[in-house]
Structure 1
């Protein structure tokens, strides 16, 4: 599919399409894979979207000024934060090629631009890109950075609560690769934290930081809130996470889908897009209250929800009744 073909389909908009300033909300995308070098991936992006190739760093390339603005292609993002010298980093990255993913990172995009970016997925697949299911220990994923309406907007806190209740449902219904579940990249929030979120319903990010502090000590969760917290409450963030140096502040949810299926025919970014859109749709409707009531009632009756599978059946039934 070419750039011109992108008009043939659209990604459905998020339920709240604009931010508090009235501008269209944007979503950044990160896609990880192996099987291609950084240069080959960057060349494909340039051929598809245009722009100029900046290859001054062989492990961190940019395609600048194309149809989607600037696109970054890099091998891993952690090694550059270790204090290791550039030459040593380069040698280590060469040794780790195939285990460390190549990652494409976009600027924040409009929904139609995300659809346009999706047109390069089959091109990368045909060129040899491999996803997480090609190896047991391949920790590759797809991340969406969805701009919040505003840090203080009620939809922000409702979305966090909706995700807490829907995370096991999304994992089950979308068949998240079981091998990814054993890797420490995208763990679920502890059940005790979900209980607190539903019981206390914090209405401000400052209160949320106090609530999650004992339970969330890293970014390795399916919904990474640390970039948003650092953006909205920098002083409180620094007090709670003084050693967290890898977090970049931004006014966005960081949804870390624990599966990159780029090598599978028919796979599309539409899948993670719809997963996140489901979370926001629940947050924007009374279905959130129904899910919370059901969670609270079952916890009151049984003391604890012992199995994710039991909650998945209950929550899926609530969602399917509305969809019928």
Structure 2
């Protein structure tokens, strides 16, 4: 069996398709789930995408040389990482199974490759993979690591502004799982940061760092900017985040918001993909300025008139759509 035997979806290109080198922008995908052990998930990926299974650790497997590159499959907890073994470590990992997710991590992929990876989702579902809505405490997600056009490119900076304005809308319209809302991993940016982004319209990474520094101290936000900032401005990053050791520098925005609904028939990675494409579409158009003007008007209101639900309605009117 190969990935061609499964149903494939077309993944529309990002609004700005290429980086300055003329190469298609790439997106790394991370999918979390339970109900399926690491070895079974790795075996399915190997069957569908080829490659060699590398047994790095009992809870960290790698499919080397698949048609999509090297794929990592691991128990997504520090207790499930390489070299956390020993009898006690293995016992703790097994106790955690089902409460913490197994995670598949892809290398950066072009849109057609994301579609090929998405085509294996039904096989994982049929084998028992379970997503965030299949239990009370399962706050599992899908993460997209989206290569930026260039770190300081105007589109990158506009995308950050667009996300701040659209985050409440994405949460409302896509019905983010209650457990994930309560967990600290996908916090919304403080409203004061969005106010600052709208007021200042940062045109450099230096100004962006100055704006986010008072408001964002961890990676646990629906859009994690720290990997990009560490990659592009390492000295400024170190000055602002001297104790942040978990961040891996990369030229990408880390979109953490979407739910993993891998067990639901018909669900596809197209949902998180289109959520992100909306952000970039707004960033690439005059809709961003229209949303910012509406936000300024909205910000002058107080009390119940400035509730998130009111902004969701206003943003929908500005974008000319009832539902995303």
Shorter-chain TM range is: over 0.9
**Is the 1:262–1:268 contact (alpha carbons within 8 Å) kept by the matching residues of 2?**
yes
Which has the larger displacement, 158-167 or 5-14? Answer: 5-14
Superposition misfits of 4+ residues, deviation over 4 angstroms: 5-8, 301-305
Structure 2 counterpart of 1:58? 58
Structure 1 counterpart of 2:168? 168
Post-superposition CA distance 1:71-115 (Å, at most 9, x none): 00000143368x984325433212211111100000000000000
SS at match of 1:36: coil
**Is the 1:185–1:258 contact (alpha carbons within 8 Å) kept by the matching residues of 2?**
no
- C-alpha displacement at 1:3, in angstroms? 2.0
- C-alpha displacement at 1:213, in angstroms? 1.1
- C-alpha displacement at 1:318, in angstroms? 1.5
Structure 1 counterpart of 2:15? 15
Structure 2 counterpart of 1:46? 46
Q: TM-score, normalised by structure 1?
A: 0.94
Post-superposition CA distance 1:236-289 (Å, at most 9, x none): 111111111111100001000241100111100000000000000000000000
Q: CA RMSD in A?
A: 2.1
Question: Take 2:170 and 2:191, find their aligned partners in 1: how far apart are those partners?
Answer: 16
Structure 2 counterpart of 1:277? 277
Structure 2 counterpart of 1:201? 201
Q: TM-score, normalised by structure 2?
A: 0.94
Using a 3 Å threshold, how does the CA distance of structure 1 residues 208 and 127 change in structure 2: closer, same or farther?
same
Question: Take 1:28 and 1:287, find their aligned partners in 2: how far apart are those partners?
Answer: 27
Q: Give matches, 1:183-194, under 5 Å.
A: 183-194=183-194
2:92 maps to 1:106: no
Structure 1 counterpart of 2:212? 212
**Is the 1:6–1:116 contact (alpha carbons within 8 Å) kept by the matching residues of 2?**
no
* Runs (5+) with no aligned partner, structure 1: none
- C-alpha displacement at 1:56, in angstroms? 2.9
* Runs (5+) with no aligned partner, structure 2: none
Which has the larger displacement, 296-305 or 143-152? Answer: 296-305
**Is the 2:74–2:104 contact (alpha carbons within 8 Å) kept by the matching residues of 1?**
yes
Structure 1 counterpart of 2:85? 86
Structure 1 counterpart of 2:131? 131
